[in-house]
Amino acid sequence: MKLDAATFVRLRRLAPLLDDVLSAGEVEHADQAVGLASLAQLCSQLFDIYHCEHPGEIAQVRLDALESH
């Protein structure tokens, strides 16, 4: 799935935020929490698009994950 330019830019803008949170091991500031909410929303939208395009692959990955646990 090719990302459009606007989506790519949004992901690039949010990537440092995720890196900061992972490096610190915690959410330290309200702006980080808000940024994480934006990242989650964007990831959810991307998942929905991918799922519509490739439902069989998503179903298989979910099945594989259940079997591995």
What does the mean pLDDT of the chain come to?
96
pLDDT class of 25 with cuts at 50, 70, 90: very high
In angstroms, rounded to a whole number, what is the distance separating the alpha carbons of residues 3 and 12? 12
R_g over Cα of the chain: 15
Domain coordinates in residue numbering, the chain: 5-68
Average pLDDT over residues 39-48: 97
Looking at the predicted structure, is the pLDDT value of residue 69 above 90? no
Q: What is the pLDDT of residue 17?
A: 95
Q: How many C-beta atoms surround the C-beta of residue 62 within 10 A?
A: 10
Q: Percent of the chain, pLDDT > 70?
A: 100
Looking at the predicted structure, is the pLDDT value of residue 63 above 90? yes
